[in-house]
Structures are given as C-alpha cells and as structure tokens.
Chains A and B, each alone.
Chain A
Amino acid sequence: MNTSTRRTARLPIVMALLGLATIAQADPVERTVPADARGEVEIVNVAGDVQVRGWDRAEVQVHADLGDGVEKLDVQSSRGRTSINVIARNGRNSSSGSDLIVEVPRDSTLIVKTVSADQTIAAVRGAQRLQAVSGSINTQVWGQEVAIKTISGEVTVAGQKVAGRTAVNTVSGDVNLSDIAGELTLETVTGDMGVRMPTLSRARIQTTNGELRLRAALTADATLDAEAINGDLSFLLQAPVNAEFDVETFNGEIDNCFGPKPVRTREFAPGNALRFKEGNGGARVRVKTLNGGVEICR
C-alpha cells in the first residue's frame, strides 16, 4: 500500500475521532446581565441540573455547561424580567444535559421549568414557582409564596419558620417539608410525606398512595384537612392543643393519644370514627381515610 492509499484509508478513522470529540465536548458559557433586585427570573432547561443561588448584586449571572444538541444559551433581561433558556437544535435529541449555575438577586421571584433535570435553589427569598417533569426539587423558602409541581421526583423544602403559603403537587415522589409555616397545600398520588411546621394556620393534605407524618403546632384558629385513599396518616401536634377533631376511616385503626376512643360507625359495615374536643377547640382537624390508619398524638 503506498502513501496516498494509506492516507485514504485513515481518513474515515480521523473523521470518526473528530466526531467523537465533538460529542464528548461540553461547551462552557458564562453570561451576566443586569437585573432588578426584586425582578422575575425564569429558567428553562430540558435536561441537566439547575442550581440557583441568591446574591446581593443586581444582576443575573449564568454559568452553563452546554451539552451536545444545544443550539445556544439564550439570556435576555428587560423590564425587570430575566429569561434564561437552553435552546435545543430543532429535531435533535440531546444525549447529554446542560448544567446551569445561576446567581440571581436575592429577592427575585424565581420560575424554573425543567424536564429530566434536578433543581437546587438556595438563598432566594422571593416567590418561587418550580416545575419538574422528571427530577428532584430541593429549595429553601423564606415565607414568600412557593408553588412546586412535579410529575416524577422528590421534593425537599427547607423553610425558615417564617409564615407563608406553600403548595406542593406531585404525582410520584416523596415530599419532605421542614420548618415551613403558615398555609400548606400538599397533594400526591404516590409518595410518602414528611412535614414539620412550627406554626400551621391552614393545611390541606391529600394522597392516594402514601403515608404522612406531620409534626405541627396549630394556631388558635387553624384548619387542617387530610385525606388518604391508601396510606397511614400520623399527626404529632405540639402542645398546647386547642382543637376539635373529626376523624373517620373506612378500613383502618384510629390511635388517639388524647384519650377518647374511636367508635364503629355502622353495625354491619366497616368504619371507625373519632370526634372529640381538646382544650378550647378553636382549631379544627378533619381526617378521612379509606384504607389507612390514623394516629393522633402530641
């Protein structure tokens, strides 16, 4: 084989290696734009991790490792709104995700939408609206309104014991909420829930297949509604407890540490009910289950 023939034979190998190098390469990008101290920041990423941190500056800074299949990182800021989009090439699937680290003004309102990506948010004190189709969400809240929706993925929220409004809606995935206060709406189809609220003024908790363990201090006029189709519900209430309780199960035991015993609701059908008042009865606790036990203790 002469020289030219050898070159010809090597060409496909060289081209293949170049192609592999292009695939393996992540493209780091850094962008900084001015932003309002209390503006809105929206982040959209299809695949990869998203980390958001609050800081003191009135600007948004993005550090991105863009995966293959990404056309560009689009960062725009105007009229108090900053948007960060990882734009994929049309018709092309990205085999690797794009990882974003975003620093935003601390009091920003934050909107994050991801698919197949984990979200981690720290030190952002404004309202948060977080959505993940597949991926976990881990955030800190400071009493501003927080709405979290996931289809598949765990949710972890660490509060600062400041009253606010928290709404978590998951289809599949465990939920862990600690030191949140004020109002809570929590809905899951499948997933266990651990909730700790130093003060609870209003809560509605609903699950189809999942267990709940709630530790809370009820405010004087608190309302707590919980419902499960399949799953045990456990309430550990911090003294002093002043509430009226209305608990009913179709197939499930009721364990009450406050004294009164449950009674059978019907002679020829399953079902237990427990109704009693503790203290002055200012708050209201209502619990219903189909197949699941209920434990109420302090």
Chain B
Amino acid sequence: MKAVYTVANLKQRYGERQVLDIPELTVREGEILTLVGPSGAGKSTLLRLLAFLEPPTEGSIRLTINGDAGEAPQIPVSLQRQLAMVFQRPVLQSRSVRANVACGLHFRREGDIRRRVDAELERVKLTHLADAHPRTLSGGEMQRVALARALVIRPRVLLLDEPTANLDPHNVGLIEQLVREQQERFGTTIILVTHNIFQAKRLADRVALIYENHLIEMADAPHFFDQPQDVRTRGFISGQLVY
C-alpha cells in the first residue's frame, strides 16, 4: 500500500522543552491510524505537524497524494487543500451552521455549494439546525458541525484530534459511524488521536502508542491489542499506565 506520509527524524521543541521525537513513521493510503497515549504525550503536536500547521524543529514530513508531493514546512496550497483537520475543541465562526460548513468550499471557490452543504448536514443529522447560530448548539452538535465542515470538502487526508472527547454516547456513536463511512466510501486516509482505547479498537486499522513524546509501538490493530511488544503498550492496554 502506498505511503501518504513519510516522517523521518522528527523532533519538535518549544523553547528548551522537547515535545516530540519520532525517528520514523509511515501512514498508509486509505487506512485509519489511531494515535493513543496519555495526555501530554505529544499526540496533538504530531497531528498539528502532519497538518502542516507548524514547522518541525528538525526532521522531515513528506506528504504524497495522487503523485503530488510536498514537504514541511511549506507545502503547495493545492496539496494543503487535500487535508482537513478537526480539533478537539471546535472553533466555529459567528455565522450560521450552514455558512460554517460551507467555508472550506468557499476557500476553494467550488460550485454547487448549497446542495453539497445541505447533503453534508443531512449526513451529520443537523439539517434542522442549518440556520442556527453556533452559540445555540450543544457540544456534540458543534463537533458535528466541525466534522461536516471538514467532510464536505472531501479531503484525501482527515486528521481528527479527539473528536469525541467529552461527548455523550449518542454523539460518539454518530461520529464514529461517519468516520468509518468516510474511509469506506471515499478511501480517505484518517489519523485519529484518541484517549479512548475502546474507540481505537472499534475504528483503527493500525494503532500507535505515543508515550513521553516518543512513538513506542505501532502495529495493526489486532496485533497491537492482542500481542503488544512493549511493556508500556501492555500497561496502556490493561489500564495500568498511570496518566
């Protein structure tokens, strides 16, 4: 399977503080890779780096989509627009839900926006709130708007930073279903950061444990959960890793 991301000797420091050190990482086209690990391990930092939202201190991140390639810190806009990221805390603009979902399409100057946005709102079950202002939405609804805003642009790579943190089971189920559907229907490569080991089990093709700023172990999901190689992975899976 082709590699979408090729990461080598990646180091990220904020001032004197090293927050990430990953010698090697490859993300395969069309897979769901979940990054698991305790808070502060560096998962979200890695995701921001993979979204090219900040430059790495050292090392390289190479993105290849349909033969087009780019490397951090600056990739072409056309390649950047193949990516979309959903943050743990959704930040919506102070305009209607429909306008929020449409913004990525406007950025790309694409057509048929109204129909596509309405179809996406139906997909995330928010048609009835299309004209609502974000301040009237619940946390789960806001996160679904943020997800719809990312999905409507049909990204080749979708980066999700704890999209279901603090949500109720109904919203968690809905978002997980959308994530799976996105991969199956559109072949989107999905990198999902989660605390939730059960969510990783439900969704992942491959799982990577990030612990104390290092990539400890990465394997196919069944192998990761059933035959973990590292003692820290075993500890994380069994819930004994204190964080």
Q: Do A and B bind each other?
A: no
